[in-house]
C-alpha cells in the first residue's frame, strides 16, 4: 500500500482504486462525483513529472471543499451544480504534492445532521458516521488511499471509529481552510482518513509543514481520561480504551488513570461543562454562517431547518459564557495532561448504530474539538456485534507531529481494506 514515499505509480494506484470502486461503490455509495478518466490523465501527468511526497496516492475530497474540475454541492440541494473557479487550498496543496483526486465524497447536508446515502462497508444496514461519511467509507474499502474530511464536532474521529480506519484531526488552524465552506469557524478543522498512520503524517507535512518526528521513540507517558461523559460510552467502547492502557503498560509505558478527574464532590474537573459549551458555540456559529441558507427553508432538510431555528434563539450571553468556559479549560490544560504526552479516551459511544437515518453521536469528540487539540482515531478493536470500535488519542496543543509519531509507534502496520463484500 502507498505510504506517500513519492515512489509509487499514480496510474497503477488509479487502476487499483477503480477496481475497488467497481466492487464497492454500488453498495456503499461513498461518492457524489467520480471522474476516473480524469484521474487517469492526472496520474499519467504526475508519473511523468518529478515525484512528490504523495505521488502514487489517490485522494477523495469531501464535498465541502471547492474543486475547480468537479461540482461542489456541500450535500445540499440549494447548491446543485455549483462549480467553483478554483481548488480549495488543501486540495491544491495535495495535488501539487502528487496526489490524484478521484472525485468528491458524500457529506451530510452542509456538514451538519441530515445524512447522505453512504453505508457502513462493514455492515450495510448501519451508518458509517458523519458528516465525513463518504471519505471514511471510501478509505475503508480501498476506493481511495486518503480522503479529506472536516470536523466541527466529531466528523472525522467518529466515522473513522465506525469504519475501522485511521482518522486525524489536527490542531485547529494547522491546515488551511480557504475554499472550504465553513459552518462554525472557531471549530471547523480540516481532517483526513487513511489506512496507514505513516500516510496521515505525510499529509500533515504537506498541508501544515513541519518536520517528521521519528516514530521509534515511545512517549514518556499516557493518561486514560474518564471524561464526565464516560458512563455514556458502551461497555465495549470503554473496554477498548482500558485494553489499550493494558497494552501500553505491558510495553513499559506509564499510564495515569486519574488525570483530569474531579476527585471530590466540590471539585470542578477541567472538562466539566465543556461538552455543553461546545454545543452552544457550534449552534450559534452555525446559524450565523448559514444565514443565507436559513432564509431558503424550502431548500433544506427538515432536520437542518429545525436545528437552525432553535440555534437562532440562543442569545449572545450564552455564547459568551461558552467561550469563557473554553478559555478556562484551555488555561487548565496543564493540569489535565500533567506528566502525560497523550490522553486516551473513547472515539465514539460504541459501534456504528443501525439504520441510515442518522450518523451517530459525536459526544466523545466535542470537548477536544472545542479546545482545538490534535486527535487521532486508532482502529483495531471490535465491538460486541463485530463492528469496529476505535480509541481516541489526544495530543497537547500544537503537538500534531508528536501525536502522529505516537500513533505510528503504537500501531505501525497499515489497516487492511474490508476483506469481503457484506
The residues that are catalytic are 62, 131, 155
* 299 backbone dihedrals φ, ψ, rounded to 5°: -95, 5
Cβ contact 159:139 at 8 Å: no
Reduced to 3 states (helix: H, G, I; strand: E, B; else coil), residue 355 is: strand
User: What is d(CA 327, CA 332) in angstroms, rounded to the nearest whole number?
Assistant: 9
Strands of the sheet containing 255-256, edge to edge, are 31-34, 100-105, 58-62, 146-151, 189-194, 166-169, 375-382, 388-395, 342-346, 222-224, 255-256
C-alpha atoms less than 13 angstroms from C-alpha of 175 in its C-beta half-sphere: 36
What residues contact 263, with CB distance under 8 A and at least 6 apart?
none
User: What is d(CA 142, CA 16) in angstroms, rounded to the nearest whole number?
Assistant: 8
**E strand residue ranges, 347-420:** 375-382, 388-395
What residues contact 257, with CB distance under 8 A and at least 6 apart?
223, 224, 226, 245
User: What is d(CA 421, CA 411) in angstroms, rounded to the nearest whole number?
Assistant: 25
Report which secondary-structure segment, H or E, holds 75: none
Distance of CA 239 to the CA centre of its chain: 22
Neighbours of 234 (CB within 10 A): 16
Amino acid at each position: 500500500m502507498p505510504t506517500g514515499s513519492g515512489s509509487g505509480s499514480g496510474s497503477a494506484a488509479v487502476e487499483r482504486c477503480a477496481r475497488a470502486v467497481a466492487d464497492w461503490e454500488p453498495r456503499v455509495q461513498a461518492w457524489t462525483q467520480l471522474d476516473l478518466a480524469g484521474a487517469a490523465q492526472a496520474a499519467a501527468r504526475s508519473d511523468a513529472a518529478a515525484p512528490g511526497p504523495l505521488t502514487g496516492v489517490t485522494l477523495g475530497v469531501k464535498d465541502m471543499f471547492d474543486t475547480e474540475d468537479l461540482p461542489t454541492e456541500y450535500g445540499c440541494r440549494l447548491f446543485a451544480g455549483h462549480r467553483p473557479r478554483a481548488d480549495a487550498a488543501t486540495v491544491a496543496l495535495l495535488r501539487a504534492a502528487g496526489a490524484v483526486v478521484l472525485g468528491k465524497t458524500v457529506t451530510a447536508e452542509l456538514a451538519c445532521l441530515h445524512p447522505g446515502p453512504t453505508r457502513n462497508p462493514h455492515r450495510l444496514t448501519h451508518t458509517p458516521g458523519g458528516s465525513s461519511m463518504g471519505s471514511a467509507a471510501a478509505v475503508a474499502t480501498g476506493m481511495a488511499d486518503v480522503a479529506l474530511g472536516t470536523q466541527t464536532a466529531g466528523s472525522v474521529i467518529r466515522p473513522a471509529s465506525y469504519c475501522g480506519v485511521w482518522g486525524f484531526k489536527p490542531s485547529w488552524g494547522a491546515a488551511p481552510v480557504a475554499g472550504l465552506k465553513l459552518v462554525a469557524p472557531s471549530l471547523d478543522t480540516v481532517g483526513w482518513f487513511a489506512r496507514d498512520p505513516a500516510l496521515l503524517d505525510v499529509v500533515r507535512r504537506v498541508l501544515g509543514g513541519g518536520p517528521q518526528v521519528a516514530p521509534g521513540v515511545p512517549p514518556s507517558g499516557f493518561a486514560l481520561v474518564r471524561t464526565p461523559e464516560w458512563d455514556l460510552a458502551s461497555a465495549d467502547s470503554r473496554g477498548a480504551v482500558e485494553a489499550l492502557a493494558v497494552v501500553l503498560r505491558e510495553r513499559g509505558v506509564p499510564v495515569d488513570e486519574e488525570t483530569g478527574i474531579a476527585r471530590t464532590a466540590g471539585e470542578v474537573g477541567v472538562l466539566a461543562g465543556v461538552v455543553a459549551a461546545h454545543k452552544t458555540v457550534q449552534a450559534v456559529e452555525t446559524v450565523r454562517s448559514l444565514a443565507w441558507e436559513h432564509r431558503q427553508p424550502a431548500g433544506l432538510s427538515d432536520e437542518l431547518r429545525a436545528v437552525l431555528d432553535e440555534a437562532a434563539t440562543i442569545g449572545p450571553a450564552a455564547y459568551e459564557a461558552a467561550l469563557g468556559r473554553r478559555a478556562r479549560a484551555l488555561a487548565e490544560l496543564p493540569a489535565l495532561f500533567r506528566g502525560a504526552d497523550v490522553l486516551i479516551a473513547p472515539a465514539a459511544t460504541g459501534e456504528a448504530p443501525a439504520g441510515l437515518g442518522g450518523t451517530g453521536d459525536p459526544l466523545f469528540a466535542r470537548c477536544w474539538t472545542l479546545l482545538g487539540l490534535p486527535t487521532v482515531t486508532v482502529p483495531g478493536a471490535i465491538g460486541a456485534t463485530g463492528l469496529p470500535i476505535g480509541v481516541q488519542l489526544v495530543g497537547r496543543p500544537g503537538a500534531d507531529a508528536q501525536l502522529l509519531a505516537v500513533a505510528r509507534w503504537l500501531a505501525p502496520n497499515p489497516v487492511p481494506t474490508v476483506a469481503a463484500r457484506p
